Amino acid sequence: MHSAFDDIALSYDILEAENPILQWMRRRVHQAALAAFAGRRRLIEIGSGTGTDAVFFAQHGFEVLGLEPSSEMLLIAREKAAAADCAHRVSFVQAAAEELRHVAPVGLCDGLFSNFGALNCVAHLDKFAQHAARALKFGAPVLFVYMPPICPWEIGYHLLHGQVRKAFRRKKDDAGTLVSLARHAIRTYYFSPAQIISCFEPQFILERQFSLGLLAPPPYVSKRSARLLHKVIASEEKIAEQWPFRNFGDHLVFQFRRL
């Protein structure tokens, strides 16, 4: 089955290599993930994309089961794992997040990870949380990166350019919002932090939450001087976990623990 993400697979890594904001975001997430998964062994990754995160974890000694719906993304991910000599630690499966219960063993995994809004494609986050709980050991950490409804930078940027619809494209809608991706439109859901916590709370407890892209501009507004960007990032990291700042930004990072 064709995935909308097939069309951007070849350009995905190139865009990140040219974008300092994306690079910083991934480094920040990796730092948080290594702390969250310390002492763990088997990880599930939702939305593996081109395999950058899976390879990173494999190189740090983890075994990774990666779910990714795009066949073109998976081709690159498998090549990347082989080139990094860690293919024996990574198993990629062509599957969406909603198919987790069909591909993950029950109660054998030590942690679950998802980066850069892969879970924004999930309409029923409460059901996904139930499937994640089924696959994870008790006490296992979950760390994922989610796009919230309110991104101050995005709203301000598009309003200044007279693009009102784009400014509020993350509006709350139970039916989801169609977001353009290459030649396709992806139905995307933007749950608030309170809604996300409510979806996970029956089986998980929130341990950490912080903003990613609150003061730093979104990746598509990356043409800023390196010196200025460094100062903005340093300021953001000082307040990213504080209330109310942790509830707003281009992305939010949530860390839960399986009860």
Residue 1 has pLDDT above 60, yes or no: no
* Mean pLDDT of all residues in 70-74: 97
Q: How far apart are CA 194 and CA 41, in angstroms?
A: 30
pLDDT tier, 173 (very low <50, low <70, confident <90, very high otherwise)? confident
Alpha carbons within 13 A on the beta-carbon side of 255: 18
* CB-based contact 142:97 (threshold 8 Å): no
Q: Which tens digits make up the pLDDT trace of 113-158? A: 999 999 999 999 999 999 999 999 999 999 999 999 999 999 999 9
Q: How far apart are CA 158 and CA 170, in angstroms?
A: 12
Q: How far apart are CA 131 and CA 123, in angstroms?
A: 14
Query: H helices within the chain, ranges in order?
Result: 9-17, 20-36, 52-59, 71-83, 100-103, 125-135, 152-160, 164-167, 193-200, 226-239
* Cβ neighbours for 30, distance < 8 A, ≥ 6 positions apart: 53, 56
Q: Which tens digits make up the pLDDT trace of 218-232? A: 998 866 667 888 999
* CB-based contact 234:161 (threshold 8 Å): no
**In DSSP terms, which residues pair with 144 in a beta bridge?**
114, 254
**Tokens describing residue 214:** 């609150």
Dihedral sign, CA of 80, 254, 35, 237?
positive
Picking from 137, 139, 91, 100, the residue whose alpha carbon sits closest to that of residue 118 is: 100
Q: Which tens digits make up the pLDDT trace of 145-156? A: 999 999 999 999
Q: Which tens digits make up the pLDDT trace of 188-226? A: 999 999 999 999 999 999 999 999 999 999 998 866 667
